[in-house]
Amino acid sequence: MEPGNDTQISEFILLGLSEEPEVHPLIFGLFLSMYLITVFGNLLIILSVSSDSHLHTPMYFFLANLSFVDICFTSTTIPKMLWNIQVQGKTITYTGCISQIFFSVFGFLENLLLTVMAYDHFLAISHPLHYTVIMNPRLCGLLVLVSWLISVLNSLLQSLMLLQLSFCEGMEIPHFFCEINQVVGHACSDTLLNDMVMYFGIVILGCPPVVGVLYSYSKIVSSICRISSAQGKYKAFSTCASHLSVVSLFYSTVLGVYLSSAATQSSHASTVASVVYTVVTPMLNPFIYSLRNRDIKRALKRIVGVIMMHVPMVVGPKKCP
């Protein structure tokens, strides 16, 4: 393959999860099911928060935003993969690949929202008397807006840098979507500047959220230990248990992607790890936040009840007298 100008490239080849045709129907059914569960489950969370006045609090405001981001995050990758399996193709257009990389903004945005939620839990447990004053609607909106701006600017910079690279005709990407480190790593031109910008972004924009989450939970644990009653400790811990589960799942899988690819140099290991944080984690978030949350359960029951009331009853044909 000869290096070509990036403006002449029309499409890339996504190798996907498996090159064995006999397992494609299984992969299609599995990922379609997970995608539908992700969309339906997160939509229910958004509807629950928006329809119940008792859930109009900072914690549930951030949760609704997280659910929206999860829907968008999976929608940028899974539909294209399902379409390729359905038509038995492996190609993605150059524009489509760049678009997927730009909309990876949702992955970084989820990282920032989890940090904001950790800060919210820290204030709720460590400073309960000042919580409502500090976490006012203006600050909540500002935190979400700043998270969006940082994520969009980072993705825009990465995408513009990618447009400067040259790619080889028929370039194969060993992934089921265009992940930036995979695309940059298979470029036919010098990628030193792209690598520097990419890792600079990870260090500058990725490490502070992780440090923020760790700091928040260190303070939360310290505050819980100072609570005298066992019931008070349990109530405080249950407040942040769901968020801690989501944070642990998200960061462990994201780190798994980069550590596995760096340690084993195996693109397949990196692809499998990517499935967890791009598909499995967004699918599990609604379950994690609703299973032990009475407020969410109550709102969901009311929504289901309203839906059932509007479902027309099927009445069998009456017999003529």
d(CA 154, CA 204): 11
DSSP symbol at 189 = S
Give 134's contacts (C-beta < 8 A, 6+ positions apart): 123, 127
Q: Residue 75: its pLDDT value, please?
A: 92
Q: Residue 46: its pLDDT value, please?
A: 92
Domain ranges within the chain, ordered by starting residue:
3-293
State pTM to two decimals: 0.84
d(CA 23, CA 179): 23
Q: Are strands 11-14 and 3-4 parallel, antiparallel or unpaired?
A: unpaired
Contact 285, 246 (CB under 8 A): yes
d(CA 119, CA 156): 27
DSSP symbol at 317 = P
Question: What sign does the dihedral 289-291-292-294 (CA atoms) show?
Answer: positive
58-83: buried (b, 16+ CB within 10 Å) or exposed (e) per residue? bbbbbbbbbbbbbbbbbbbbbebbbe
Q: Residue 168: its pLDDT value, please?
A: 77
The domain covering 3-293 belongs, at the CATH homologous superfamily level, to Rhodopsin 7-helix transmembrane proteins (1.20.1070.10)
Per-residue pLDDT of the chain (321 residues; tens, 9 = 90+): 444 444 457 788 888 777 777 888 898 999 999 999 999 999 989 998 888 888 888 989 999 999 999 999 999 989 998 998 888 888 888 888 889 889 888 888 988 999 999 999 899 888 888 888 999 999 999 999 999 999 999 889 988 888 888 887 777 888 888 888 888 877 888 888 888 888 887 787 778 888 888 898 888 888 888 877 777 777 777 777 778 888 887 777 776 666 555 554 455 666 766 777 788 888 888 888 876 677 777 777 777 666 666 655 544 555 544
d(CA 39, CA 42): 5
Express the helix, strand and coil content of the chain in percent, nearest 5 each: 75, 5, 20
The SS3 call for residue 19 is coil
Q: Residue 4: its pLDDT value, please?
A: 43
Q: Are strands 11-14 and 91-93 parallel, antiparallel or unpaired?
A: antiparallel
Q: Residue 261: its pLDDT value, please?
A: 53
Q: Cα separations (Å) of 60 from 54, 64, 310? A: 10, 6, 27
Give 52's contacts (C-beta < 8 A, 6+ positions apart): 295, 298, 299, 302
Q: Which of 68, 59, 45, 70 is nearest to 119 (CA)?
A: 59
d(CA 260, CA 266): 7
Identity of the amino acid at 117: M
256-268: buried (b, 16+ CB within 10 Å) or exposed (e) per residue? bbeebbeeeeebe
Q: Cα separations (Å) of 256 from 108, 162, 213, 262? A: 16, 24, 18, 10
Vertex 204 angle, CA 199 and 205, to 5°: 95
d(CA 286, CA 147): 21
